[in-house]
Amino acid sequence: MFDRIIKSCDFVVLNAKDVKINYKKIEILIKEIISFKYQHYLTNNPFKIMELNTEDLINFLLFYDSINFSFWGDPKWSIETENGLIDGSTALLYSMLKIFKKHSSSEVFKYLENITKEEFKDLLKGNIEIPLLEERYTIITNIAKKVNKDMNGNFYNYIKNINNDIELFKLIIKSFDSFKDTRTYNEEEIEFYKLAQILTSDILHMLEFKESIKVDYSHLVGCADYKIPQILRSYGILEYSDILSEIVDNGIEIIENNSFEVEIRASMIIVINYIYERINHSKYRIDINDFIWRKGQDKSLLFKLYHLTRTTSY
């Protein structure tokens, strides 16, 4: 499954017209990657998510990661908290966490299957309506319905004995339609599965951290989004054609499944895989992915703009 992602992305890169990879520029980033010490983003969260028991935490991640996409806008959706104004995925985490502080795993899936659209909208209330509210609501209620019907109302209990990424990833994409993430390029199907890989990674990292369970997430290949290509382009690793540069730099939206979008996402995956091979597999691809993503969260650094695509995939 993961090999298919690499193979399909390699096909895009070999045929790409508007995104090129400058392999010489990757060496600078490799030096940083070799020296970094990995820390999963959830373990350093300001909202005490790690205080949830393992069961509640894994069930929370199913819902959170399933709708953790597409926050960009002008203005950007944001919320007020006791820690100040926050936006994007951090704001979503804060908002969704309220549910799991009120409902245990024994009741949360029934609650979310029947949550009304107005209740869900109020949960995510901010300065503006969150983008793709309708889509997020549909995903949340459908996932809850699936777990209640086929998993005895508890996702954690259903997957708790799975400790490897291949098995868990396959179960996620087979069970939940919303995690499908493919594109078409030159009449070929291109696979990404960004959110399914994030969920797989988050679950296994949390099982490892909370329960000291030996897990395997070595096969994950990277999560194609908009922040990581932003960093790679800022390093000069991804080079855009004049027309694509003009589109991105002027904040013009790229429609989902447009060749620009597919080439950007595929090139990102191939860069991560290249780094993985160059450092002799000394760090996993998902950890390389997370390191680059975390650089994009550093607001003290200046980066080029990221591409804008309204999508439920990332």
Full-model pTM? 0.96
Return the closest-CA partner of residue 97 out of 142, 61, 44, 147: 61
Mean of per-residue pLDDT scores for the chain = 96
Please provide the DSSP assignment of 40-109 as one string.
Answer: -GGGG-TT-GGGS-HHHHHHHHHHHHHT------SSPPEEEETTEEEEHHHHHHHHHHHHHHHS-HHHHH
Q: Please tell me the predicted confidence (pLDDT) of residue 236.
A: 97
> 42 and 205 in contact (C-beta within 8 Å)?
yes
Question: Is the per-residue pLDDT at 135 higher than 90?
Answer: yes
φ, ψ of residue 298 to 5 degrees: the values are: -80, 105
Residue 195 Cα distances to 78, 207, 241, angstroms: 21, 18, 28
pLDDT tens column, 27-44: 999 999 999 888 899 998
Q: Please tell me the predicted confidence (pLDDT) of residue 83.
A: 83
pLDDT tens column, 297-306: 887 788 999 9
> 134 and 126 in contact (C-beta within 8 Å)?
no
Beta strands 238-240 and 19-21 are antiparallel
Q: What average pLDDT does the segment 177-190 reach?
A: 98
> 274 and 29 in contact (C-beta within 8 Å)?
no
Q: Please tell me the predicted confidence (pLDDT) of residue 63.
A: 98
User: What confidence tier does 18 reach under pLDDT thresholds 50, 70, 90?
Assistant: very high
Q: Please tell me the predicted confidence (pLDDT) of residue 46.
A: 83
SS3 content of the chain, % helix, strand, coil (to 5): 60, 10, 35
Q: What average pLDDT does the segment 204-211 reach?
A: 96
Q: What average pLDDT does the segment 105-128 reach?
A: 97
**How far apart are alpha carbons 62 and 176 in whole angstroms?**
10
**How far apart are alpha carbons 6 and 1 in whole angstroms?**
9
Q: What percent of the chain has pLDDT over 70?
A: 100
User: What confidence tier does 166 reach under pLDDT thresholds 50, 70, 90?
Assistant: very high
Q: Please tell me the predicted confidence (pLDDT) of residue 190.
A: 98
